[in-house]
Structure 1
Amino acid sequence: MRHSPAPRCDRVRRVPDWPAFDREFLEAGVAPRDQLDGPSLAAGLKPVTIRNAVRGYGRWLAVLDASGDLDPAMPPAARLTPARVRAYLGALRAAGNANSTIVTRFFELRSALRIMQPEADLRWLVSPKGTPLRVLLPAGRRAVDVPNSAVLYAWGRDMMRDALRREHPTVRAARYRDGLLIAVLAAVAPRIRTLAATRIGWHLSRHGGCFWLAYTSADVKNRRVIEYPLPPELTSCVERYLEVERPRLLKGRQHDWFWVRRSDGAGMNESDIGSLVRYASKARFGTAFGPHLFRHALATTAARLDASNPGLAAAVLAVSDAVVDAHYNLAKQEHAARDHVRLIDEERRRTRLLAGRLFGSLE
């Protein structure tokens, strides 16, 4: 079989595209059981936990497929070998995932396998040689240069202008959508979940010369109501997207989701948006980052430009001043953080190497 040291992990196989064997195991794992059989593992899990486990397993299958290691006739747990796990670790690392994200992906994979094959011994997956992954891969602040929000906003505008020079209609439509999405993120920095939930007429509407975004508490992580106008210069951009580019992406489908996927015309989900931003940022800045960085950028830029108005970023981000100071505003700690980040990165490099060696030693 062909092996790749760092196969791509920016794809997630949806359940209908799983091998038949895997679908059967999943269906059996989540199916209701009678009293004699006892409850299944899935019966005690929250729906969001099951959903994340399924997505995590779909990501694992995509990596196996990319490396040529996906044998559809093999039971799910049997595919789990130290060599393949080490390749998965490398793929996650190559995609720019932080230690905390990598650990989460491994726990998602274990959860999915425990649902499908509860009898399998999977302890080594999250604790190789008895050392917990959270110890091997400690969470730490990533050394990410936070761009100015104005730079990110100009990047989105440039992408839309570049799209208009593309001859292929679908390529132009997707490029224009990408630029508009990035410009919106730079301007108001909604969370990815909120952005993906945007629907025309529900959350996006026009008042006067501007388009407004309004989200209810059900659409927002901290249950706060959000309502703000987009910059006036984006009005014509949103109009063109709605009237020209979005219909091309729909491919004849009818729905009210604002962001439309190029491949099949369906509404974009959080994974689609995250992959889009990471791929585009890698191409533009040489470093991949996700949508959440736009929130850091907004808070940090606001602090740099107007230190006398600390509530500005909190109002836009729909969080408290304390949250902005604790989690988003990096301006005050930049100099001290550089030395701290350097030390953290040195420690993470050491433990990442150890993690790879431990998985290798299990073979």
Structure 2
Amino acid sequence: MRQTPANRSIPLWHWPTVDRERWLGAIQPSSIFDLKEGDLSQLAPITIEGIAHGYGQWLNWLHQEEPSLLLLRPADRATIERLRAYHSAMIGRGLADYTMASRIRSIAGALGAIEPGHDWSIIQLAADRVHREAKPKKAIGKILQPAADVLDFGFSLMESAIPGMNDLDAGGYGSLRFRDGLLIAFLILCPLRRRNLASLALGKGLEKQGGHWQIRIPGEETKSGREIYCRWPSLLDEALDEYLAVHRPALLARYPVRGPATEALWISRLGGKMTSHAIYETVCRRTEVEFGTAIYPHAFRHIAATTIATLAPEQTDLIMTILGHVSMRSSYKYYNKARTLGAAERMNGTRAKVRRALQNTWWPEQNLRSSG
């Protein structure tokens, strides 16, 4: 979804003073003997960030409706009538049910910390109802593509971006194509969540050990709370070397910024770190041109899980590892999906190709694991 005034989130430092100060107090680390109402300090940082982002979207909607509403106390703004109007506005903008449930749940979570003396359970119950009755906005079967085809597309982008070929110069459109190809190929081989993907940086998240690049994301930064530790896909070793030696430096040099250069792995066309939203739009734009329908980053996780369920159904624990599921309940649906989508028939022609391409990347359990 493109950033527009209607869907932006007001950042924390622009929140009303009362909201900001109480929120900061609620997320401050506390000892086990500090029993304070609305304490969020024990939540994972990624969870706290998500709640703040959703609450910022609520504040933005209030500001769009009537700026003076932000002068009211937090509890006085969150009337049932306004919450109903907010829900109707989200429906009118065509947001997915799961997105609406998440935003409503964020309001309940934030208000529980900012105004702990109130009972906000009705908002949480409303979010639960929206989630329970949610219907997928897009038919996932129309989005999924064979893993081998997506991998081939990533490589074709990189191959067409070699400096000196097709008049594509390093640092120009050629480097952007190479970056996008590497990004797409990486996603099909190691489908991290978008936030974790955007956070990868040299020396932090991506480290070289024993001649190989390793990915290590601490548990406090993952949705499941478990550390992700895996080898960079060996199939992309040469591509990563090419990107780090030629294209990443060239992209950094396009628009030099003051101060030290970013250590982020994925560099934007403006020479800075790619945000998770920029990654989303880039992947969707590239795949829509190639396949006729956009494959959003989260769908790569479905492709990976469905591929394993189809080609290696005996490796049930591998889906849990790749997707970071805490239990098999979330993973079993991919076995059903593999059957109902006719994935086996669709992949007959690429079965051997997928096995060859993936067997040395994320298929072996020892190459990708989540630590408990």
TM-score (normalizing by structure 1): 0.63
RMSD: 4.8
- C-alpha contact 1:213 1:230 (8 A) present in aligned 2: no
Closer, same or farther: CA 78–319 of 1 in aligned 2, 3 Å: closer
Structure 1 spans left out of the alignment, 5+ residues:
1-5, 337-363
2:100 pairs with 1:74? no
Aligned to 1:240: 246
Shift of 1:87: 1.0
* Match of residue 102 from structure 1: 100
Q: Is the 8 A contact 1:50 1:112 kept in 2?
A: no
Residue of structure 1 aligned with 2:261, choices 233, 254, 257: 254
Q: What pairs with 1:1-363 in structure 2 (closer than 5 Å)?
A: 8-9=6-7, 11-20=8-17, 22-24=19-21, 26-27=23-24, 39-42=36-39, 46=43, 48=45, 49-63=47-61, 67=64, 69-71=66-68, 73-75=70-72, 76-80=74-78, 81=82, 82-91=84-93, 93-94=94-95, 97=96, 99-119=97-117, 122-127=120-125, 132-138=126-132, 142=136, 143-145=139-141, 146-157=144-155, 161=160, 177-201=179-203, 203-205=206-208, 212-215=213-216, 218=219, 221=224, 222-223=226-227, 225-227=229-231, 228-231=233-236, 234-235=239-240, 236-248=242-254, 251-252=257-258, 253-260=260-267, 265-266=272-273, 268=275, 270=276, 273-274=279-280, 276-277=282-283, 290-302=296-308, 304=310, 306=311, 310=315, 317=322, 326-329=332-335, 330-334=337-341
The alpha carbon displacement at 1:183 in A equals 2.3
1:267-292 deviation per Cα after TM superposition (whole angstroms, max 9, x unaligned):
64x56545654566567666565423
1:189 counterpart SS class: coil
Q: 166-175 or 180-189: which moved more?
A: 166-175
Question: Any idea what SS the aligned residue of 1:248 has?
Answer: coil
- Quick check: 1:30–1:40 contact (8 Å CA) kept in 2? no
Distance 1:326 1:225 in 2: 23
What secondary structure does 1:225 align onto? strand
Give yes or no for contact 2:54–2:106 (8 Å, CA) kept in 1: yes
The number of aligned residues is: 314
Flag the 1:313–1:125 CA change in 2: closer, same or farther, 3 A: closer
The CA deviation at 1:185 is 0.5
Deviation track 1:66-87 (CA, whole Å, cap 9, x = no partner) reads x565547433445441323321
Structure 1 CA distance, aligned partners of 2:254 and 2:247? 10
Per-residue deviation at 1:297? Answer: 1.0
Report the secondary structure of 2:297's partner residue: coil
What CA distance in whole angstroms lies between the structure 2 residues aligned with 1:21 and 1:264?
A: 36
Partner of 2:350: none
Tell me the amino acid that sits aligned with residue 256 of structure 1.
E
**Any idea what SS the aligned residue of 1:214 has?**
strand
**CA separation of 1:162/1:58 partners in 2, compared to 1, >3 Å: closer, same or farther?**
farther
Q: Deviation digits for residues 286-337 of structure 1, max 9, x if unmatched? A: 6565423212212333555x4588589659838799689624443234259x
Q: Which residue of 2 aligns with 1:345?
A: none
Alignment partner, residue 364 of structure 2: none
Q: Which runs of 5+ in 2 are unaligned?
A: 344-372
Percent identical residues: 23
